[in-house]
Amino acid sequence: MDERSVEQRVADLERVTAIKALKYRYWRACDGKDPDAFRACFVVSGASVDFGPLGRFDDADRLTDVFRRIALHEVDGKHVILDMHHGFHPDIVLHGDTEATGTWTLQFRQVDLLKRTETVSAGEYDDAYRFENGEWRMSRCHFTTRWSITRPLTEDTVVVP
């Protein structure tokens, strides 16, 4: 039997809900091409970020610079990289009131209008979270791709950004 008080169990549920909301905000910022909201999802300094081939970083500022360069790239005033992040299967573990870890599954889709390709992939996040300045933020965000398919867009493919 759970010996925690009802108040403690409710507080824990609120923490888990806030962490889930953080991760969803992160993906919305990715897809919405919002670098400020993207950066705000991470601790102020010292985040451990590992996105494999995309890079490993010891601070979210460097990752945000990469995000700006790739996600915000435009040709003739139009974005050329279109992303879709769908995350699910969260497993959040609290380690006290201000620390937590979590894993997530990601389904990712990207259209690259320069290369005329579509990539579909699946992978896993291994995250750590810290309550900082009154809100939850990611202190670790490691992503491992499980599989990926890249295929050319056909001549008759119409992409409407």
Note the pLDDT tens digit of each residue in 1-49. 778 899 999 999 999 999 999 999 999 999 999 999 999 999 999 999 9
pTM, two decimal places: 0.94
Q: For residues 14 and 7, what is the distance between their CA atoms, to the nearest angstrom? A: 10
Phi-psi region of 78 (alpha: psi -120 to 50; beta: other; left: phi over 0): beta
Spell out the domain ranges in the chain: 6-152
Overall CATH class of domain 6-152: alpha beta
CB 92 within 8 A of CB 54: no
Note the pLDDT tens digit of each residue in 91-121. 999 999 999 999 999 999 999 999 999 999 9
Tokens of 41: 């999802």
Average pLDDT rounded to a whole number, residues 139-155? 97
Q: For residues 13 and 29, what is the distance between their CA atoms, to the nearest angstrom? A: 24
Note the pLDDT tens digit of each residue in 39-95. 999 999 999 999 998 899 999 999 999 999 999 999 999 999 999 999 999 999 999
Q: For residues 101 and 4, what is the distance between their CA atoms, to the nearest angstrom? A: 20
Residue 88, pLDDT score:
97
